[in-house]
Structure 1
Amino acid sequence: MSCDYSVSVVGGAIVIVPESDGQAAHDDLVNSVLLAQLVANKKAEKDPKADWYNAYVEVLDDFWLRQTKAREERLITENSVESAIEWVAAAMSKGAPDEGLATAATLARVASVSGSEPAMNLLRSHVQKTSLDESTEIPVPPKVVRLLVILARTPTSFTSVYLEFKTHLEISPNPLAQLYQAEDVQGAVSMRYARVYLSETLYGRARNSIALKVREKLDAHVAMLSLSDGSSGI
């Protein structure tokens, strides 16, 4: 069985594209999403209270026009066990049920990928950042977890779900395989949904400049996931 989708990791984002497109067709998406994350990361490093997602979309909004956006604060049900895959798929399904199914099936196979894969190491390093100045507080304060999932069925449009929450848990080698109970998450899981399309008029003027800005960052921040028939696609 061949895979319908190929998956790459771009910083803290899982990017799902049709396998038939080829990754090169989505260079504009990868470059702009990476640039937006780098800007948001820098703001968050300077001010830990800064809204990472707002900083990220401020960059994207210059070129990717949002058709739909939504926000949800989700509490984990008592005595239940939930996963990031469930949260992302549920948010995607509210916009388009078929996109929710496609995303859930692909992420379920990503969850079976070994945590030792280079792409997984990259994703984990962005999903839950570690600081050189780890807190000496007792108990240790919870850490922020951030995950972005992008489904791009065409090179000029995509749907995304962003998750952010706080937990005392260390993220597992494969973040998609991790399960959570109510006591594992402090407060709610904040979710942001967006459907966007690329404005060639706006992006065309900046394409070369953006590509130049991220050129030296691609090797360290972008990696393809090695997916087999048993761990990827739909």
Structure 2
Amino acid sequence: MSCDYLILIVAGAVVLVPAADKPERYQDLINSLLLAQLAANKQLEKTPDIGWYDVYMEFLDKYWLRYFRARVDLSVTQGDSASVVDWVVAPEFGEAVEQRVVANAVMRRLAALPDSEPALGLLRGYMQKSASDASRDHSDVSRTVRLLAVVANSPMSMSSVYIEFETGRILADNPLAELFQAEDIRGSVCRRSASANLSEALYGPVRKAIALKVQDRREANVALLRLAEDVSAKENSAGT
């Protein structure tokens, strides 16, 4: 299967950008996603009981007009196991079947990357903020795991899935490959989906200000991942 996307890690988000386009065309999207996450993280530090996703979307809704939203609470059946990727690649991920198929292939290819991939370390640190500091022995402590997956349909259109759940486990070095069983999940897995278009009328006046706010944060929080052009070939070579 052809890999039709470039993959960007933007803080705690996996962002798929059409490979036919240059990433530079998606600066508004990248800056919006980064600043919205940073704002939500900052607010969470002040008020730990707030809903992270609600704060994140409150920022985006100022400039990105949502025309689709959904929420589903999932669970893991006793005796089964599932990964974050399994929960991300949902029926409502994106609007077209072809888009979902490619997104599925790309996300599963990311799950097969070696643990040493630096971009995975960046993603892991945002998916579970305590992952780099906490001891693996404290399984009685509940830790929140969060992941955003975003498909950029164009520079002014995106579809996204957000996953959040509580676990006593510390995420593995490649958090996308980790399997969770029913006893690992505390409560349910919350999956929220959205699609939105950028409003130039709303974003245009603040474009420079937003770019200025994140310019010193991008180097440490944005990474480009390059996969082989053929996803299947890349997956086969990973096992050799």
* TM-score, with length taken from structure 2: 0.90
Does the Cα contact within 8 Å between 2:131 and 2:171 map onto a contact in 1?
A: no
Mapped to 2, the partners of 1:198 and 1:138 lie a distance apart of 43
Amino acid at match of 2:110: V
Task: Report the identity percentage.
Answer: 44
Q: Which residue of 1 aligns with 2:84?
A: 84
Does the Cα contact within 8 Å between 2:93 and 2:159 map onto a contact in 1?
A: no
Mapped to 1, the partners of 2:85 and 2:139 lie a distance apart of 29
Mapped to 1, the partners of 2:49 and 2:129 lie a distance apart of 15
Per-residue deviation, residues 91-113 of structure 1 (Å, max 9, x unmatched):
43585433322211110111111
Q: Which residue of 2 aligns with 1:153?
A: 153
**1:41-190, aligned counterparts within 5 Å?**
41-93=41-93, 95-130=95-130, 140-190=140-190
Per-residue deviation, residues 39-61 of structure 1 (Å, max 9, x unmatched):
00001111211100000001100
- SS of the residue corresponding to residue 140 of structure 1 reads coil
Q: Aligned residues, how many?
A: 231
Moved more, 78-87 or 201-210: 78-87
Q: Which residue of 2 aligns with 1:223?
A: 223
Per-residue deviation, residues 191-221 of structure 1 (Å, max 9, x unmatched):
1100000001111111000000000000011
Mapped to 2, the partners of 1:88 and 1:130 lie a distance apart of 22
Structure 2 unaligned blocks of 5 or more: none
Mapped to 1, the partners of 2:127 and 2:103 lie a distance apart of 18
Q: Which residue of 2 aligns with 1:16?
A: 16
Q: Which residue of 1 aligns with 2:25?
A: 25
- SS of the residue corresponding to residue 176 of structure 1 reads coil
- Deviation at residue 37 of structure 1 after TM alignment: 0.3
- SS of the residue corresponding to residue 205 of structure 1 reads helix
- Deviation at residue 131 of structure 1 after TM alignment: 8.0
Does the Cα contact within 8 Å between 1:92 and 1:99 map onto a contact in 2?
A: no
Taking only aligned residues, the RMSD between alpha carbons, in angstroms, comes to 2.2
With over 3 angstroms needed to count, the CA separation of the structure-2 counterparts of 1:70 and 1:79, relative to structure 1, is: same
Q: Which residue of 2 aligns with 1:196?
A: 196
Mapped to 1, the partners of 2:199 and 2:222 lie a distance apart of 24
Structure 1 unaligned blocks of 5 or more: none
Mapped to 2, the partners of 1:70 and 1:192 lie a distance apart of 6
Does the Cα contact within 8 Å between 1:4 and 1:19 map onto a contact in 2?
A: yes
With over 3 angstroms needed to count, the CA separation of the structure-2 counterparts of 1:139 and 1:119, relative to structure 1, is: closer
* TM-score, with length taken from structure 1: 0.92
